[in-house]
Structure 1
Amino acid sequence: MVLCAGRVVADGPPGEVPSASLLSRVYEQPVEVLPHPRTGALLVIPRRDS
């Protein structure tokens, strides 16, 4: 479940819910969501534009 300003904005399995667009909107910061290269767990990191 993802909350924004105390309200549910998404609900579902951890492998499906956290998208870069959703979390960027919630955190008000551009982020990337990608699998960890060794474990496959989702990583949420700040987006770095070059």
Structure 2
Amino acid sequence: MLHATDEVKLLNQLAVQLAIAIQQAQYHNLQTLDTKLKAKVEERTTALQKSDRRF
């Protein structure tokens, strides 16, 4: 059986690992959103350039 201080250390390590996993997931989500936004900006810029050529 674990001693109380060992349990606290273990829980602390688990908390750190969980925090890292959450940060990595958030970073991945931001990268995905950034990629989608860049694609949308490029798409709209192209559409605007095409509409400007007509006038």
- TM superposition score normalised by structure 2: 0.16
* Higher-strand-fraction structure: 1
* TM-score, length of structure 1 as denominator length: 0.17
Write 1 or 2 for the structure with the bigger share of helix. Answer: 2
Larger radius of gyration: 2
